Structure 1
């Protein structure tokens, strides 16, 4: 079941709500530059096990509205909060992948973990995706500035190149095209704006505010968000556990989808 939730007077975000009668709710926050459809191989299985799966398309991406502003972590986490309140969710697991993981971290700090019983961070872009003077563990800033430049010059080529480093396991040409189409569904300005947020914002203090039990799933071959960031999240979040995925890149939810689903279910039970 899909529907829209108003998050601002002129902005609505799309929500996919699978198995609304499920006993255990998981809210999924997707990574850049995709949509809730990135979690197709979780949505195929988890509702059959009794889980309610809620996928939110971030503003500018997927089927959500595409405003020209609001792509900072505060606003993106506020959008999630609006969905949580609209659906009257009281107790749920919050799962964020990549940029969705950064938004989840901001939600936990900014909205005082409201409703979240457990947190799952998957290849999360936190505390900082890029290297900074006091933080040498991310990617070089030039990589992100080039992504922004190429978004305005040849977005399909940029997205295609990004797809080549997103996965560690072999994917078919058809699957690569599917991934490309998910990225093309987003607005170009939203694609660039979120990349600019990676440069402007960091989440060091936000990580320290997380109190709920947290599972960190990270591929050791991740070329987008280096595995070191998962280790730093593990050290920064008090009650957390890091599980390395030895045969995964950035797409930990697909590269080892069966193990990913198993670890997720084991954690939530």
Structure 2
């Protein structure tokens, strides 16, 4: 089932909703869309879970307004989706930029509708280095992505893909994944990159109280593993699960382990 949900006047999001059982919400990374979770879309409904994939504003089949590409607005969009679909006791899974949005949602909306959080190669708590934060990428690297998006977005995405995958994907998979990035609005790609560069979620971490799994590739060149350690230190009920053979694309590099870990995390009883 597919939904088109109006999150503010004139802006609707596309939401893929497959299966029944406990809902598992997936937030994609920059600059693709919910179809990056192809393997989970196929597997989770077979295992008795409800897959909910959200195309963030500006991406995939969602509307692409001129504004609203900050984490506050995108977290508010998610709240409308959760309220509209009357979702309760969900697992919120955020990948890369989607992980940052998930963290902001949990802090801003009081964990409404969410009982567990999975951060998947998350671009958090701070994506870029600054005077009091030595981890992450240099801000200049993101500036280069923005300039590349203005000049030749298709070529920039090709180069970005060279850093993305820890294990070389097939030619067909690589072409398909590149096409997901080209489905985004160019302005959404640029404005979201500015948010990635500038946002600071360190204050949000301490608010999160639900069980949190941090899945992160040891060889991640986009969101270095140090970021996972910073998230674990800031979230009270968090555990890192390292993916020793993965780059940023842990969902592809170690697909079977990724699916098994997500399903185990969803299924294990909550400790009292």
TM-score normalised by structure 2 residue count: 0.97
In 1, Cα distance between the equivalents of 2:170 and 2:255? 16
Map of 1:73 onto structure 2 = 71
The aligned counterpart of 1:91 is: 89
State the match for 1:135 in structure 2.
Answer: 133
Residue of structure 1 equivalent to 2:270: none
Q: Deviations over 1:198-222 (max 9, x none)?
A: 1221100001110000000000010
Contact 2:59 2:185 in 1 (8 A): yes
Inter-partner Cα distance in structure 2 for 1:164 and 1:18: 31
SS in 1 for 2:246: coil
1:125 maps to 123
Q: What is the match of residue 226 of structure 1?
A: 224
What residue number does 2:213 align with?
A: 215
CA RMSD of aligned residues (A): 0.6
What's the secondary structure of 1:154's corresponding residue? helix
Separation in 2, partners of 1:47, 1:167: 26
Shift of 1:174: 1.2
Cα distance in 1 for partners of 2:43, 2:21 equals: 15
Tell me how far apart the structure 2 counterparts of residues 15 and 115 of structure 1 sit (CA, whole Å).
17
How far the C-alpha of 1:24 sits from its partner, in A, is 1.2
Does 2:246 align with 1:237? no
Aligned residue for 1:242, secondary structure, equals: strand
Q: Which residue of 2 aligns with 1:263?
A: 261
* Equivalent of 1:187 in 148, 166, 185: 185
Q: Is the 8 A contact 2:164 2:249 kept in 1?
A: yes
- Aligned equivalents of 2:90 and 2:173: distance in 1? 31
SS in 2 for 1:7: strand
Count of residues in correspondence between the two structures:
267
Write the distance in 2 (CA, Å) between the matches of 1:29 and 1:230: 18
Q: How does 1:1-269 map to 2 (within 5 A)?
A: 1-19=1-19, 22-269=20-267
Distance 2:198 2:162 in 1: 26
For 1:44, what is the secondary structure of its paired residue? helix
Could you give the per-residue CA deviations for residues 209-252 of structure 1, whole angstroms, max 9, x where no partner exists?
10000000000010110010001111111011101100111011
Q: Distance in 2 between matches of 1:144 and 1:49?
A: 38
> 1:147, CA displacement in angstroms?
0.3
Moved more, 167-176 or 118-127: 167-176
Tell me, what secondary structure is at the counterpart of 1:133? coil
Q: CA separation in 1, counterparts of 2:45 and 2:241?
A: 24
**Equivalents in 2 of 1:147, 1:118: separation in Å?**
33
Whether contact under 8 Å (2:127, 2:199) holds in the other structure is: no
CA-CA distance at 1:197 after TM superposition: 0.4
Query: By how many angstroms is 1:135 displaced?
Result: 0.1
